Amino acid sequence: MDPLSTSVCIDRPREQVFEYLLDIANHPEFSDHYLVDWHLTRRESYGRGAGARFRLKTRRNRFGWADLTLTEVDPPRRIVAAGRGGKFNRVRLLTVFSLQPGAGGTTQVEMITETFPATRADRITESLGMRRWLRRNAGRAMRRLRSILEEGAERGQRATVAG
């Protein structure tokens, strides 16, 4: 799938937003409406190497499990998370959070999500509404991120280690 970009302006310093996003256990707080059943892949949830496994909340999706690991961290500008999902974990996933300073101490956060289907069947499955579903839910997640950081709005549950 071509890269899907969603952005939001948050009235918080860039360093504060970066620290929040660098803890992958915080991600379910703003994305649990479409990514559910989060479990950390190791005890340390902060920084490079931290990862989580989750399930995409879609209809008729037998292979909805995916995982992400924070692979690249460039404080306070960029966080890259790579992973896999789908049947036999053959669809590669890439999510990039870019943080740019805005006017008056605000932060412009852009989330770019890209998938790399391995087979023709994966590409067909993805073309049947997955992009529209992902765009709608990623936009909502970014708005929830803004309300959590700006207003202290109600958060979802943090991810924990399974078991």
Look up the pTM and report it: 0.91
pLDDT, tens digit, 9 for 90 and up, residues 110-122: 999 999 999 998 8
Amino acid letter, residue 101: P
CA distance 4 to 32: 19
**76: preceding bond cis by omega (within 30 degrees):** yes
Superfamily of domain 4-161: START domain (3.30.530.20)
Burial of residue 16 (CB within 10 Å: 0-12, 13-18, 19+) is middle
Q: What is the pairing mode between strands 35-40 and 160-161?
A: parallel
pLDDT of 155 over the 70 cut: yes
* Burial 81-98, CB ≥16 within 10 A → b, else e: bbbbbbeeeebebbbbbb
Q: What is the mean pLDDT of the chain?
A: 92
Domains of the chain, residue spans: 4-161
